[in-house]
Amino acid sequence: METREEKLVKLAAAGDREAFTELVRQNEEILARTALALLRDPEDGADAVQEAVLAAWLGLPKLKQPRYFRTWLLRILIRKCGAARKEREKHRHGELEETAAVEKEDRDEALDARAAFDRLSPEDRLVLGLFYGDGLSIKELSAALRVTQAAAKARLYRGRERFRKLYEQGGKNR
């Protein structure tokens, strides 16, 4: 039985812009969350999402399995975010010392959930965001991250443990 999403994907692949726009709207929350998890900066995230949407539109006719549209789109975005991070690191190399100083100062502040989450690595934020925030299954998570399901589980476990540590550390300080 073909789902509505699969029908939209087929229409979009055939050139239907409205179908593609609806697909993007259906997935904009997960796109936004993923971009923020990886880049933190909304402006950078917006750029990456725009690039991913464009790449998805151009590459959609190559997608063989419409049911994997969401994970396929996520993979494109993750690649775009990775490229954006590399680019940003190049340009911000000179600012590292300053950032480190600010972060050290931050660590002395009380950590709430948001701060704990923000302190996680982009990869941990991504895994936790996709699993807890967007409800991806382990299978979908493994497809989006291009890792085995066992590796996806391990990453999820590690991310959760790191969050726990930071969150509990914040509780002690509160």
DSSP state of 66: G
Residue whose entry in the numeric block shows the structure tokens 């609806």: 22
Identify whether the C-beta of residue 141 lies closer than 8 Å to the C-beta of residue 129. Answer: no
The number of CA neighbours under 13 Å toward the Cβ of 157 is 6
Q: Which residues bind another protein (CB under 8 A)?
A: 15, 17, 20-21, 24-25, 28-29, 31-33, 35-37, 41-43, 45-47, 49-50, 53-54, 57-58, 61-62, 112-114, 116-118, 128-129, 132-133, 160, 163-164, 167
Say if residue 73 is exposed, middle or buried (CB neighbours under 10 Å; 0-12, 13-18, 19+): buried
Shortest approach of another protein to residue 61 CB, angstroms?
6
Q: Which is nearer to another protein, 69 or 163 (CB)?
A: 163
Sign of CA dihedral 33, 43, 117, 37: positive
Shortest approach of another protein to residue 35 CB, angstroms?
5
Shortest approach of another protein to residue 17 CB, angstroms?
6
Q: Which is nearer to another protein, 128 or 143 (CB)?
A: 128
Q: Which is nearer to another protein, 25 or 90 (CB)?
A: 25
Q: Which is nearer to another protein, 2 or 97 (CB)?
A: 2
Q: What count of other Cβ atoms lies within 10 Å of the Cβ of residue 172?
A: 8
